Amino acid sequence: MKVTVVGTGYVGLVTGACLAELGNHVVCLDVDERKIRMLNSGGIPIHEPGLEEVVHRNTAAGRLQFTTDIAAAVAHGTLQFIGVGTPPDEDGSADLQYVVAAATNIGRHMTDYKVIVDKSTVPVGTADRVRAAVNAALQARGLQMEFAVVSNPEFLKEGAAVEDCMRPDRIIVGADDERAVLMMRALYQPFMRNHDRLQLMDVKSAEFTKYAANAMLATRISFMNELALLADKVGADIEQVRRGIGSDPRIGTHFLYAGTGYGGSCFPKDVKALIHTGRENGLDLGVLQAVEAANERQKHVLVRKVLQRFGEDLSGLTFALWGLAFKPNTDDMRDAPSRVIAEELVRRGASLRAYDPVAMEEAARVMSQLPRIAFVPSQAEALTGADALLVVTEWKEFRNPDFDGIKATLKQPLIFDGRNIYDPALLLGMGIEYHGIGRGHVPKAATLPR
């Protein structure tokens, strides 16, 4: 099938590449000339495991092309996917200007039937706005033309997006046009060889499903983080609690890990947008407001533990930071807890030595205004001259490090584990002082002078 994907960011590029991988002829459109030049010269604008290989393989085969030519892109595909950004507006609502602009461009250039597919995460009612934008553009041309608007939200996890796209656990399609439904089924049939994963529903329910899914996952994270605060107070270990409740099949094991809070491009934005939608409809979504407040508080927890150990003034102290991206396997620094942690430590006089396996360039860009932060090329170098280690992102390479080397390099054998990836008993047995998130009363190693 011929498919056009508007947008070559995280959603658009992954979607276009994976559709091409299954034999479709895909044209990806973007108004950002720099990004299109990069893609046409073999570069990839985002870090996503496996994506580079899929893009290169399909561009070489001629199934995947990149362009800034709007008219040519609209002419190419009967299926027109909109995968542009929907950043949060000042009031927390999703900014739909790029979605509406894409729809308007389709209306300005279409010459035959199109199925316009909202792939971006958008609030309930966006399909109506897309339909209105296309109709307005057609009327300005003095034309009437058939088209359909479909909601087909993405459920891609950063760091596993290619796998999620190629092997989806569900494909949500919101549509009321029979011809469009048949085309969507045909497009996704190769993804469903084992069993039918396509769930057909009305358009507004499909739009709502995406927000509800992300809000539920964010709720689980904030719930466990709040329980972790209480576990610290009462002397319980949140990791043991997590395993205990996760063994209940009604609860399950996913998204129950206490830490430094969620970040990235989805959960913060989507929780805010759903709260805003509630207010627009006269509803105060108290649970989600609590989820958001708990998450903002959690980003400061690791710093509070540092202050409890060293005092309010951190002048003259140096801390090693392992992990900067908001989660492993991505270079995404949007709303990353590391940004709050770094800002708080520096504000109190500390110096930082930071390392991340892939997010160094992006971290250096977004933290460029922070003084006394050095971005170093390895996790070992981050330890040099540091008074303590803070683990902020749970990259696999941090999970089983050389603890003897850490102990020998740090000025004090002291780890603040923001992701609970280490065994407190093991570290304490090695003479390393340990502070985790919700690990209860962990006895310290021999108290060390500052």
The dihedral through the CA atoms of 163, 401, 226, 224 has a sign that is: positive
* DSSP at 189: G
Whether 28 sits among the annotated catalytic residues: the reply is no
Given 18, 28, 165, 266, the catalytic residue: 266
- Intra-chain end-to-end CA distance of the chain, in Å: 66
Rg over CA atoms, the chain: 24
The DSSP annotation for 267-333 comes to: HHHHHHHHHHHHHHTT---HHHHHHHHHHHHHTTHHHHHHHHHH-S--TT-EEEEE--SSSTT----
d(CA 173, CA 79): 14
Query: What tokens were used for 207?
Result: 């739009």
Query: What tokens were used for 418?
Result: 């923001």
Q: Given the DSSP bridges, would you call strands 373-375 and 198-201 parallel, antiparallel or unpaired?
A: unpaired
d(CA 320, CA 417): 12
Write out the catalytic residue numbers: 266
